[in-house]
Copies of this chain bind each other. A is one copy, B any other.
């Protein structure tokens, strides 16, 4: 078969997200892209998400049938979504004369723990995928899903298809894991907010981790962690154009970095303050332990210095968890004799990220100054060696991102 990929050819893993597969026309378009790569003599392994809004539609259906929380059954339900998209994309490729073959996550050997809804990959038995590639076939693998040791179907949580793609790229020794999305790469800031934002040619794993953690939606955290651990190069690019996107790679030793790589922002969090907490040992634990037990991720914890034996503890958390968190914290406040709990949904987090800032103590001061000059008040500050995050008023987010981007314009990228 002249169109079959060469089994000894370099291997590329391509991952297509739900928006790239939202309609039959888009599936045909993706098939053409995969076919074009295969016809260049490159071996291809494809990972796909569920079509468009399928996952949300299935969750809606579950909500109409059941009020309970049944993670095992939700996984059984949702994995039907990718099963539909792998079958359809495979048919489209077969129509083009390419020897494609669909595989579910379990068939592709994605072994996970048994945490339904948020399973971790604990092993890869990719022999069936590897055998298909060796035969010159194009495996079309269902992302997001795996199988536990008890032979249960599991899902990997938000962004799980990216993780599937990276894990397969690592297991198969692929040259690159291409993540196709509706943006064409990682930018110095969100181009919808900052007209002058520039696409980054490359970014380090650590920077990408911080960008993702701080609100850049282009890649999910866990897939970047997996790539860093296994050394897989991720190439983020658009499924609608041909140009190069952004490569996420190991930081190269001995190479001078741009001081800052990018500016991320996140409006999906809320700020909570517990006021007048008695300043005594164990008080922070008594606040955060119950939240952790409820599975609520908190971020940017700040405790002010004590005044007259009392202190305020502030932190951010996902807005979706705020109602649950408030219930928990009201009880905590009562128990520890705190003065009260205050919540603010109207916040945004603006973060400046760059591996180069480790060695430049002036970066933080420059960022605060840029915000001050724009008349923007800073609520909470938190820093790491390669990141500075500020909580500001949500209405000021566009102005803030632009002010910081302008200030660092020459160093960015």
Contacts and interface: CB of A to CB of B under 8 A. Distances in A.
Contacts of A128: 151
Contacts of A79: 83
A216 B49 CA distance: 42
Secondary structure at the A interface, as helix, strand, loop or mixed, is: helix
A183 interface: no
A149 interface: no
**Residue among A68, A81, A89 with the highest chain B CB neighbour number at 10 A:** A68
Contacts of A84: 58, 61, 77, 80
B62 A76 contact: no
A175 interface: no
Given A24-B61, A88-B61, A66 B95 contact: yes
A217 B178 CA distance: 50
Contact of A62 (B58, B68, B83, B87): B87
Interface in A74-111: 74, 76-77, 79-81, 83-84, 86-92, 94-95, 101-102, 104, 107
Contact of A65 (B24, B72, B80, B101): B24
A325 B27 CA distance: 34
Nearest to A89: B65
Given A24-B61, A65-B27, A102 B76 contact: yes
Contacts of A104: 76, 153
A94 B76 contact: no
A223 B86 CA distance: 30
Nearest to A151: B107
A92 B65 contact: yes
Contact of A86 (B28, B58, B68, B76): B76
Interface residues of A, number: 38
A323 interface: no
Contacts of A72: 101-102
A90 B84 CA distance: 21
**Residue among A27, A65, A84, A88 with the highest chain B CB neighbour number at 10 A:** A65
A67 interface: yes
Interface in A125-148: 128
Nearest to A83: B80
A64 B102 contact: no
Contacts of A40: none
Contact of A73 (B73, B74, B87): B87
A324 interface: no
Contact of A83 (B68, B83, B89): B83
A70 interface: yes
Given A73-B90, A77-B91, A80-B87, 8 more contacts: A24-B61, A27-B65, A61-B84, A66-B94, A67-B95, A76-B83, A77-B88, A80-B81
